[in-house]
C-alpha cells in the first residue's frame, strides 16, 4: 500500500469514528434504544480475530463517547479496553467457532460487562441504575446486530 493510501485510510477511519460517535450521542442515546455502537464494533472485531483494530477502536471510541458523557472522563475508554481484552483472551480459548449460541453469549455478556464495569468504575453510587427497560432492549439488539454483521461478513468471505 502506498503512503498516500495509508494516510487516506487512517483519515477516513477517524472521520468514520467521529461520525459514528455523533450518531451515537445525538440520536441513539436520547432514544429508547440505548444501544452502544462502539461496543458492538469492538465485539465484532474481536469475533473476526482483528485484535489490534479492536483495541484501537475501544480506546478511541471510548474517548469520543466519553467527551459527551456525564461520568468521569476516560471511564468509557477503560471499560471498552477491558472488555476487548477479556474477549480477546476468551476468543482464543472459548469462542473458537462462530455459532449462533456463542454470538448471543458474547453479545449478552458484553452488554452486562459494559454496564457492570461502568457502574464499578464510577463508584457505584446509583445502585444499578441501568436495570430498566433500556438494558432489555440492548440485551436483545446487541446479539442481533452482531449476528447480522457476522452473517454479512461470512457471506462476503
pLDDT of residue 125: 62
Write down the pTM of the prediction: 0.83
More confident residue, 93 or 134: 93
pLDDT at 155 over 70: no
Q: 111, 138 in Cβ contact below 8 A?
A: yes
pLDDT of residue 124: 67
Extended beta strands in the chain, E state: none
Please give the Cα distance from 100 to 48 (Å, whole number).
14
**Residues of the chain above pLDDT 70, percent:** 85
Q: DSSP string covering 63-94, please?
A: HHHHHT-SS-TTHHHHHHHHHHHHHHHHHHHT
30-50 per-position pLDDT tens digit: 666 778 889 999 999 998 888
91-113 per-position pLDDT tens digit: 888 777 778 888 888 999 999 89
Closest by alpha carbon to 72, among 21, 121, 18, 128? 121
pLDDT of residue 129: 61
Mean pLDDT of all residues in 46-60: 90
Domain ranges in the chain are 3-156
pLDDT of residue 154: 62
Mean pLDDT of all residues in 74-81: 89
Amino acid at each position: 500500500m502506498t503512503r498516500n493510501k495509508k494516510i487516506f485510510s487512517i483519515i477516513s477511519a477517524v472521520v468514520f469514528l467521529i461520525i459514528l460517535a455523533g450518531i451515537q450521542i445525538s440520536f441513539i442515546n436520547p432514544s429508547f434504544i440505548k444501544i452502544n455502537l462502539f461496543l458492538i464494533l469492538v465485539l465484532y472485531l474481536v469475533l473476526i480475530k482483528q485484535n489490534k483494530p479492536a483495541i484501537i477502536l475501544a480506546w478511541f471510541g471510548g474517548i469520543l463517547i466519553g467527551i459527551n458523557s456525564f461520568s468521569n472522563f476516560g471511564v468509557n475508554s477503560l471499560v471498552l479496553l477491558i472488555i476487548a481484552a477479556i474477549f480477546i483472551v476468551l476468543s482464543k480459548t472459548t469462542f473458537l467457532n462462530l455459532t449462533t449460541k456463542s454470538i448471543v453469549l458474547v453479545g449478552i455478556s458484553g452488554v452486562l460487562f459494559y454496564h457492570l464495569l461502568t457502574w464499578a468504575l464510577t463508584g457505584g453510587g446509583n445502585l444499578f441504575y441501568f436495570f430498566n427497560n433500556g438494558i432489555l432492549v440492548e440485551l436483545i439488539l446487541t446479539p442481533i446486530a452482531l449476528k447480522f454483521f457476522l452473517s454479512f461478513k461470512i457471506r462476503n468471505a
